[in-house]
Chain A
């Protein structure tokens, strides 16, 4: 069974409140998902709470997962990212401190390109090809927003670029990405 098929089966069992399946699902996916949370919510302890909240949603909504619409990890990743972004966007946490530029050099360095961070899987390859077709600023703003949860204002500050420019980079970049992905 492929990893995806196994996760799909585990989610189906979770929908019937199978705790063992849930524990296995957690064991198999929590590393990937915790990595995702940790990029956005820097403090380990808070990230752990955010991860718990996300898994609670996964447990309660496992029955909503539709394997014909999404891969299990994509579906779970969306729940986890939403939880992390919600936490970050909560007014009490607005003093979010963006990661220092040095730590993001692989994103800032245009020469490095996105392929280094995207695995070789075909779908990711396509995404990677499409990202490569974006202009440097568009791609960089999008990656910083996705991986680090930066807001428009934080992106503007981080990239030393006017807010209006950052917004239009994102909008044009997203629409171009959509066109490219839909065509391939």
Chain B
């Protein structure tokens, strides 16, 4: 087609906005739009002309599931709630709650080396999600998932370390989310950064990112076992 013909270009842009271009003609036109700014501005003009009609359509409230699905797709943090609500240092929860015994029991089971530091990361309703301990030599973190999370497909929770007084985050590894326990080896260069603040973000599966893609969903501070 002779897209250089101004009248033809005008009509194609108009019919594209109107919606009557179909099949390969529509695809071809969309490809041309990428390459030709003049054509794009024609389309914008037609959108300006015709889309005033859009307001003439009676509004229909979409089902609530539309927003829920949208939020889940864009911000896959459904298991993880806004961070302000989520975290409290484990001591707030554990002391005087009867849970302390359970925490210590778990520590005994999952952390064979004497733990130097411990953190309990809670959800919004103050239920513990992960228990993390560091071995005294800081070479390993022992991570126990305490709650089965329904993670969206191809998403996982990633643990980050933020050294004290530093804005930089360092990825420690992928957290278990099905109730299992595992050990994460701490890279040599990061050992001196322990203890620091621990943060959890939800990230796409694949290679570890170098920086979080979103604000942290959970965070927790290490406690020295000597402080208990």
Residues of chain A whose beta carbon lies under 8 Å from any beta carbon of chain B: 19, 22-23, 26, 30-32, 34-36, 38-40, 44, 47-49, 51-52, 55-56, 59, 69-70, 73-75, 77-78, 81, 85-86, 88-89, 91, 117-119, 121, 123-124, 127, 142-143, 145-147, 149-152, 155, 170-171, 174-175, 177-178, 181
Q: Select one of B21, B44, B49, B74 contacting A178, CB under 8 A.
A: B49
- Tell which of B11, B18, B48, B73 has the most Cβ of chain A within 10 Å: B18
CB <8 Å contact, A151 and B22: yes
CB <8 Å contact, B53 and A89: no
B56 adjacent to chain A (CB < 8 Å): yes
On chain B, the residues within 8 Å of A74 by CB distance are 47-48, 51-52, 54
* CB<8 Å pairs between A and B, sample of 24: A23-B67, A23-B71, A30-B67, A35-B59, A38-B60, A39-B57, A47-B62, A48-B65, A48-B66, A48-B69, A69-B44, A73-B54, A74-B47, A74-B48, A77-B54, A78-B47, A81-B51, A121-B55, A124-B53, A145-B19, A145-B20, A146-B19, A151-B20, A170-B15
CB <8 Å contact, B59 and A59: no
Contact status of A174 and B11, CB under 8 A, knowing A34-B61, A146-B18: yes
What per-residue 1/0 map shows which CB atoms of B16-57 lie under 8 Å from chain A?
011111110010000000000000000010011111111111
Complex A-B, nearest 6 residue pairs according to Cβ-Cβ distance, in ascending order: A31-B59, A77-B54, A34-B62, A85-B19, A174-B14, A78-B47
On chain B, the residues within 8 Å of A38 by CB distance are 60
Number of B residues near A (Cβ < 8 Å) is 40
- In Å, the complex CA distance between A147 and B48 comes to 16
B10 adjacent to chain A (CB < 8 Å): yes
On chain B, the residues within 8 Å of A117 by CB distance are 53, 56
Q: Select one of B19, B50, B54, B75 contacting A149, CB under 8 A.
A: B19
CB <8 Å contact, A175 and B10: yes
- In Å, the complex CA distance between A91 and B23 comes to 7
What per-residue 1/0 map shows which CB atoms of B60-93 lie under 8 Å from chain A?
1111011101110111000000000000000000
- In Å, the complex CA distance between A145 and B16 comes to 11
- In Å, the complex CA distance between A7 and B19 comes to 25
**Interface of A: prevailing SS:** helix
- In Å, the complex CA distance between A49 and B22 comes to 21
On chain B, the residues within 8 Å of A77 by CB distance are 47, 51, 54-55
CB <8 Å contact, A32 and B55: yes
CB <8 Å contact, B60 and A34: yes
- Tell which of B17, B21, B70 has the most Cβ of chain A within 10 Å: B70
CB <8 Å contact, A70 and B20: no
CB <8 Å contact, B55 and A73: yes
On chain A, the residues within 8 Å of B61 by CB distance are 30-31, 34
- In Å, the complex CA distance between A127 and B55 comes to 12
On chain A, the residues within 8 Å of B59 by CB distance are 31-32, 34-35
- In Å, the complex CA distance between A52 and B123 comes to 28
